[in-house]
Amino acid sequence: MRNSVPFYIQNRLSGYVKYYARELIYDIARKHRVKGRIETRPVPHMSLYGGSETYRMKDVIQGVVDVGKRYRLVPFTIRGFDYFDKASKVIFIRVDPSDDLVRLRKDLYERLRLISKPSTWDKRDGFNFHITIAFKDIDEKFDRIWDDIKLHSNEIQQHLFRITILGTHNKIMYEYDLILQKLLNRNQALSPKWRDKTVNEFRKLIGINEDFPAKVKSLSKAIKHTFLKKSIFFIGDTHFDHTNIIRYCKRPFSCIGDMNRQLVKNWNQTVDEQDTVYHLGDWAFGSAHRPAVYWTKRVHGHITPIIGGHDSRRYDIGYKDSVHLNSGKYKFLLIHDPADKPADWDGWIIHGHVHNNNMRKYPFINGREKTINVSADLINYCPVSLSTLLALEIDSIIRMDTIDSSPERL
């Protein structure tokens, strides 16, 4: 008689979620001196089906491939932490699934239940999408740990890259890459080379190619050459040389060299030497980063730098704490951290600092709060011109998530 084989379908997460789930949880565990068993580097994952058993793993693999072929870009949103109950002591990251993610999981269920026995939670209509993080042996410390964790709740957009097939002892057997539309064996699934291929293809799919997206660049250039001899641009939080920013903010770059080159290329393709660029702080960061003065010599324009939390006056390039800028009926205050806005300011704020880590409050444009977030992560890693902002008729915008989004208007 054939023996059944255990299997489990999940999505291994990376990038910002890996930092969010692994590094933060580990730091909190050390802070509260959690004893007993805790994985110091847990692998964040989202369950999609199982665990279960099958007599034909070949059918499971084919089922995952057949379902995966129907999907490519599958977004979802993470929204802070939650826990199942204090008895289980299992903490997780809340996931707000897109319609595509809901359909993908349902399709997996319908296909795999024919060749295996679904678990109880697989059958539920209200499937709880979540990213598991398990603390153990924290009975008397749970309330304090929970109070600490919930302070770090963020909201950020993600995409499902791969569907992972785990076998005996939760060992990765295969991954179906949704972005590349390819089944990867274990070695390929764990290979940084293949990970880079996935990330680079994802960049193309969402419109971040080697050249700055044509629709934004052409709009900026058309306004510039038609109406102005000189233009004003804004960008913040470039974080040159900062390796971890790629995963913290889910930047679509394979390494810091790739990121540095693309940031400089985007900048110089958009900004001319006679233009003015306001940099909203945080030029570079990291243990071996090169100072802002190094980068100012490699990018075009007359630069007015506003100091950020990671900038140092040791290499002073003329840092300002803030700048007031008027254009027609608009008045703008340029500062690094929007929380530093004066209480009596009633104009618009152009700022950086928050990246894409608090999209609910600080999207690209928040018309109700009159804030414009020019962190590089929201403007396609390229300076955005004042002319482009004015052409958007910002007074009529309630909310606009990124420079590529369709604005929600009054």
Omega before 15 within 30 of 0, i.e. cis: no
At 257, list the tokens.
């060299």
pLDDT at 391: 85
Nearest Cα to 206, choosing from 263, 239, 159? 159
Q: Are residues 228 and 174 in the same domain?
A: no
What percent of the chain is predicted at pLDDT more than 70? 78
Q: How many domains does the chain have?
A: 2
What are the residues facing 184 on neighbouring strands?
A: 175
For residues 189 and 74, the answer to whether their CB atoms sit within 8 Å is no
133 against 105, higher pLDDT = 105
For residue 215, is pLDDT > 50? no
What is the distance between the alpha carbons of residues 185 and 179, in angstroms, rounded to a whole number? Answer: 16
> According to the per-residue pLDDT averaged within each range, which of 3-17, 29-43, 156-170, 388-402 is highest?
388-402
- Domain boundary among the residues 175, 205, 235 is at 205
- Domain boundary among the residues 180, 205, 230 is at 205
Torsion-angle region of 191 (φ positive above 0: left; ψ -120 to 50: alpha; else: beta): beta
pLDDT at 228: 44
260 against 230, higher pLDDT = 260
Query: Which CATH number belongs to the domain containing residue 183 in this structure?
Result: 3.90.1140.10
pLDDT at 139: 58
Indicate the pTM of the whole model: 0.50
244 against 200, higher pLDDT = 244
Q: Are residues 201 and 231 in the same domain?
A: no
pLDDT at 132: 72
363 against 13, higher pLDDT = 363
Q: Are residues 285 and 333 in the same domain?
A: yes
Q: Are residues 98 and 138 in the same domain?
A: yes
For residue 189, is pLDDT > 60? yes
pLDDT-based confidence at 184, cuts 50/70/90? very high
For residue 210, is pLDDT > 60? no
Q: Are residues 197 and 219 in the same domain?
A: no
Amino acid in position 151 = L
Query: Which CATH number belongs to the domain containing residue 399 in this structure?
Result: 3.60.21.10
Q: Are residues 343 and 326 in the same domain?
A: yes
Q: What is the mean pLDDT of residues 112-140?
A: 75
pLDDT at 154: 60
Q: Are residues 167 and 227 in the same domain?
A: no
Q: How far is CA 81 from the centre of its chain?
A: 17
pLDDT at 37: 40
The answer to which of 168-172, 365-369, 375-379 has the lowest mean pLDDT is 168-172
- Which strands make up the sheet holding 232-235, listed edge to edge? 302-305, 276-279, 232-235, 384-385
Q: What is the mean pLDDT of the chain?
A: 82
DSSP string, 202-220: HHHHTT--SS--HHHHHHH
| Domain residue limits at 286 | 214-409
- Domain boundary among the residues 176, 205, 234 is at 205
Q: Are residues 147 and 16 in the same domain?
A: yes
pLDDT digits (tens, 9 = 90+) for 8-66: 777 776 544 554 555 556 556 666 666 544 444 456 678 898 888 888 889 999 999 99
Q: Are residues 146 and 95 in the same domain?
A: yes
pLDDT digits (tens, 9 = 90+) for 314-357: 877 899 999 999 988 899 999 999 999 999 999 999 999 999 99
Q: What is the mean pLDDT of residues 72-91?
A: 75
Q: Are residues 172 and 78 in the same domain?
A: yes
Sign of CA dihedral 210, 213, 217, 222: positive
